[in-house]
């Protein structure tokens, strides 16, 4: 524990009057069986922003319950800055950084694409001795696998978002549950160039429907929606990136079918 921490039982001053200037008051749990992660992150964030932290630790559940009742708050940790209660860790993060939990962002997709590309490059250099057309194929296959796994992580949340715009899922709900399995295993088979006669048509089918669904929702119907491409519960906007993902899958499927038939 940091040297400037104190047990709540040892503190009698009001947090409102103690939190002045660059001094912040933080209440967090440090019970014998539970050291609150959100409290640790709050402490770290305050330190990183140059605050002197009056760090007050709960040592018993009774102390936590009494604090919640006194201040009318549902959770801990709780932080005071400049005489006012900020709230929990997410409230503190929002106040001290530029983080906005409601803001749309492409970061989840960018990170996923970057990992897929890096994996493909590593495989190409390690097994082929250099980068070539196979690198692109591996990158798209890995992208499909990672995207599929993100959807399967919480398939209920994904299916709910997917039903907002996918033309086939809106007519036949089970397709929203089938889609991530097809995407994942088509990616696995295409990664190893296995069962191309099965994987390529399956990927072409779902990507063609996906591309049309995105194009229709965004560019024809002018709807502002969140994309289910990296699973449900994200703030990734539906648009160009989602369309590109489907077009890349379509392109790879067509190339693999052409190679199979020639």
Tokens of 191: 């990664």
Phi, psi of 14 (to 5 degrees): -75, 135
Whether 216 and 167 have beta carbons less than 8 Å apart is answered as yes
How many Å apart are CA 9 and CA 6, to the nearest integer? 8
What 3-state DSSP class applies to 8? helix
Tokens of 34: 């539970």
Tokens of 105: 């962002």
pTM of the model: 0.83
Tell the residue number behind the tokens 């970057």, with chain if given.
114
Of all helices (H) and strands (E), which one includes residue 24? strand 23-31
Whether 39 and 77 have beta carbons less than 8 Å apart is answered as yes
Whether 19 and 81 have beta carbons less than 8 Å apart is answered as yes
- What pLDDT is stored for residue 233 in this prediction? 76
- What pLDDT is stored for residue 98 in this prediction? 87
HEC letters along 156-189: HHHHHHHCCCCCCCCCCCHHHHHHHHHHHHHHHH
- What pLDDT is stored for residue 1 in this prediction? 52
Of all helices (H) and strands (E), which one includes residue 204? helix 196-215
**Sign of the torsion formed by the C-alpha atoms of 59, 61, 64 and 70:** negative
- What pLDDT is stored for residue 210 in this prediction? 96
Could you report the average pLDDT of every consecutive run of 10 residues in the chain (262 residues)?
77 91 96 95 96 96 95 96 96 93 86 96 95 94 95 94 96 97 97 94 97 96 90 84 91 93 86
- What pLDDT is stored for residue 24 in this prediction? 96
Of all helices (H) and strands (E), which one includes residue 155? helix 155-162
Phi, psi of 218 (to 5 degrees): -90, -45
How many Å apart are CA 69 and CA 132, to the nearest integer? 64
- What pLDDT is stored for residue 231 in this prediction? 83
């Amino acid at each position: 524990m940091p040297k400037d921490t104190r047990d709540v039982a040892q503190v009698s001053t009001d947090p409102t009057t103690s939190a002045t200037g660059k001094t912040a008051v933080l209440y967090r749990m440090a019970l014998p069986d539970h050291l609150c992660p959100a409290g640790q992150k709050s402490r770290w964030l305050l330190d990183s922003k140059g605050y002197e932290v009056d760090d007050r630790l709960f040592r018993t559940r009774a102390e936590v319950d009494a604090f919640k009742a006194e201040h009318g708050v549902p959770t801990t940790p709780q932080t005071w800055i400049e005489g006012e209660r900020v709230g929990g860790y997410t409230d503190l993060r929002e106040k001290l950084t530029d983080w906005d939990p409601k803001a749309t962002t492409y970061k989840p997709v960018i990170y996923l694409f970057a990992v897929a590309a890096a994996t493909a490059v590593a495989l190409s250099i390690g097994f082929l001795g250099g980068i070539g057309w196979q690198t692109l194929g591996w990158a798209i296959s890995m992208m499909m696998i990672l995207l599929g796994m993100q959807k399967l992580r919480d398939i209920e949340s994904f299916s709910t978002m997917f039903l907002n715009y996918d033309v086939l899922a809106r007519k036949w709900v089970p397709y929203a549950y089938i889609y991530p399995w097809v995407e994942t295993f088509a990616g696995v088979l295409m990664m190893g160039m296995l069962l191309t006669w099965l994987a390529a048509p399956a990927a072409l089918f779902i990507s063609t429907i996906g591309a049309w669904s995105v194009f229709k929702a965004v560019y024809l119907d002018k709807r502002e929606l969140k994309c289910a491409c990296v699973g449900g519960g994200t703030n990734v906007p539906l648009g160009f990136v989602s369309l590109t993902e489907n077009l890349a899958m379509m392109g790879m499927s067509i190339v693999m079918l052409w190679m199979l038939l020639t």
